[in-house]
Chains A and B, each alone.
Chain A
Amino acid sequence: MSWDWAYAWQIMPTLLRGVGQTFLVTVLSGTIALLGGLLIAVAGWTGPRVAQVCLRVLVEVTRGVPILVLLFFAFYGLPGAGLRPSAFLTGVVVLGAVYAAYCSEVYRGGLASVPGTTWDAAAALGLPTRVTWARVVLPTVLRANVGALANYIVILYKQTALLFAIGVPVLLTNAQVAGYESFRYLEPFTLAGLLYLLLNLPSVWIIRRVERRVTRGGF
């Protein structure tokens, strides 16, 4: 069997639709991951010991169990509890939660690296807690860890392919469906692979640019 350009051209629209879904999932899950991770880290930092322990357990579990297992667990298990979210919603939330756990570790490290002198200075100036966090500590932590966080978003983008398992029409799903219907797998999977790859390359470059701009403040 050799490459069939006509067929490749024919399936491009559906593949591109898959790209759109992939992008959408990445943005939504990424937002959950970045914000959720921050909340987890701050809660762990400032909350009571019980909360800290619970959160650490949650983080360890999400890091030790494959994403596929968590996806199936949520997708097939939630209806038993009376909830029936769509596959899309389930996928976005699970992916977001898993990477929130990874991001929380990055934030945690970042918070631990804030020198004690910074906290002391803020207290000496009489800054209220909310201001200390919002205007002093968090900007420092975010600036120092943009690279690591962006790296996880890029990984998240690649892992969106897993949502194929619960039927979310991401790029891989559409490629698989096209191949299944026509019994020609070469073109769909090769094109899908190339599309994933092409979208991945500029992200590395963008991350480096963002890192440079954000750390220009002198770190």
Chain B
Amino acid sequence: MADSDPTTLPPAAAPAVKAGPAGDRGEPMEPAADPAGTAGTATVPAVEFDAVTKRFGDAVVLNGFTLSVRPGETVTLIGPSGSGKTTVLRLAMLLDRPTGGDIRIFGTSIVYADPAGRRPLPPAQARRQARALGMVFQHFNLFPHMTVLDNLTLAPRSVLGLSKSDAAGLAREHLGLVGLAAKAGAYPGELSGGQQQRVAIARALTLRPRILLLDEITSALDPELIGEVLEVVRTLTTETDITTLIVTHEMRFAREISDRVVMFDHGEVVEEGPPATVFSAPRSPRTRAFLHSVLDY
């Protein structure tokens, strides 16, 4: 299984701001307080959702959702289908605009142009803010008509302006990190689902995002292929200081790598806390019910 053995990712240049235990916050829906241990300076949250509401017609998908993610933190959203988890990621990525509330990336709003929240941010500016984010999708969304290498070099060349050879070098480096250097010349259609998803992760990383959004990235994979993808994510979260927001059904994995778990239902946060707390001693009955219904827990 040589090709599915991802090598370790290079250590980050700056020391990782690893969040300690989130503290014993008893109430859900409070923004995370600074953990005890960091020097007195307040860290700007990497992603901050501030009373975000999202309506599709009459359906309310998000209802006053509030969450603050620290830089370098790995936060996992769990909950029943249709609870709005994917919508959270899509809003952060600006694939959609919230109906109400604000979203801030490293302190700067991607929804409003002014602090009072009256003028909407022009799309071009919002896109520039969102450059700090990368996203990996459930269905990979690789470009089928391009080789793996071209999939990875397109953005560096057209967005970062890299030359063809520089972009190719960058691409091969990232392919190596996910263990697929040998597949640079293949087309996505020739790869297994797990390989395609690893390519998708590498593609998102070529632009060096500071925040990575993972939207049910193993839900469309055959069971035997899930492991290789999770391995890449594990290495990513433990060895770099990238902030990660994950939506997943893989409970064991969520427990292993998350700094914080957020239980979601009907568009609102039901409970949040460190994985040990949420999985072993959930406070809310809804969380308990959900965890019991998830068979692999």
Tell me if chains A and B make direct contact, with any CB pair below 8 A.
no
Q: Which residues of A contact B (CB under 8 A)?
A: none
Q: Which chain B residues have a beta carbon within 8 Å of chain A's beta carbons? A: none
